[in-house]
Amino acid sequence: MTKAILFGSDFDDPAPFRAVCAREFPALDFRVWPEAGRLEDIEYALIWTIADGVLATLPRLKAILALGAGVDQILRDPAFPIRVPLYRLLDAGLATQMTEYALHGVLDVHRRMADYRRQQRERKWLRLPAVDPSARSVGVMGLGVLGAHLAQRLAALGFRTRGWSRTPKVLPGIECFHGSAGLGAFLAASEILVVLLPLTPETRGIVDRELLRQLPRGATLINIARGRHVVDADLLAALASGHLERAILDVFHDEPLAPEHPFWTHPRVTLTPHIAAQPIAELAMAQIVANLRRLEAGETPTGLVDPRVGY
């Protein structure tokens, strides 16, 4: 009987994945959606995104391997086949890049580089007071693979680092908060807030007026998780009122960001096109190959997602 793997992505090039599969799993037929062939052959799906309903039509699907760390773009399918295990990428080069991106933003704010850029435009020579990192608090929402890595690096640089997660955590040098009960205290002293949460029914729209109001006046938001965590109108209002000083955004409700969106030209918004972290192809492939081997051997793969909680 033919065994096949179905590749689906509106973003990734299938060619390197096809080459690796042909080398490592010659018995698996590699197919790229929408050229799925006989649906009964498909045992594995390797996807970033695929049209809603497709996964549910694959009668012998044994596992879904995500091409990213986040899986909201897969789980949003109303017909997602909950019986089929979904495995996501763990790190695969993302943690270092996320930390670089967030640190770049944190240090830019901490060292008041926006003020110095303005002063340069005005040919103004003015030394602003220095702040020790121990007097600067940074809050990281989400203490998973990526958030915990960032929080540890922030703490190592001497920042007052706080973290928020769904379940309790103990991380050396990091003040940890959890659940809705811990959110207010976490936000109250987060001068720079970095969002590294998965997008789930609980976290969609979490960065709204009420949340932003609880940050200290003059705070900065760095969103490197998903655009739908943020209520755009509430963010723009918080910037307009001056309660929020800056926003550094890598992700948006709809991507690419529409040319007419006010974020593009807002003087206190810095944006990038969802590049905070991109899986390193070799590392992602090695993880996928290892997981396929485990599946073929009847062993447990890494990165199991709980579709009921959404991550």
List the catalytic residues: 226, 274
Q: Which does 220 bind (CB under 5 to 8 A by kind): ligand NDP, ligand OXD, none?
A: none
Structure-token match 């199991």, residue found: 304
274 interacts with ligand NDP by CB under 6 A = yes
Among 64, 69, 235, 244, binds ligand OXD (CB under 6 A): 69
Q: Which stretch binds ligand OXD (CB under 6 A): 50-58, 68-76, 135-143, 252-260?
A: 68-76
303 interacts with ligand OXD by CB under 6 A = no
The helix (H) or strand (E) run that includes residue 284 is helix 281-296
- Note the Cα 139 to chain centre separation in Å: 16
Among 46, 47, 146, 219, binds ligand NDP (CB under 6 A): 146
8 A C-beta contact, residue 200 and residue 310: yes
> What is the amino acid identity at position 136?
R
Q: Is 175 helix (H, G, I), strand (E, B) or coil?
A: strand
140 interacts with ligand NDP by CB under 6 A = no
Chain positions 1 to 60 lying near ligand NDP, rule: CB under 6 A, are none
58 versus 165: smaller Cβ distance to ligand NDP: 165
143 interacts with ligand NDP by CB under 6 A = yes
| Interacting residues with ligand NDP (CB under 6 A) | 69-70, 94, 142-147, 164-167, 196-200, 202-203, 224-226, 250-251, 274, 276-277, 311
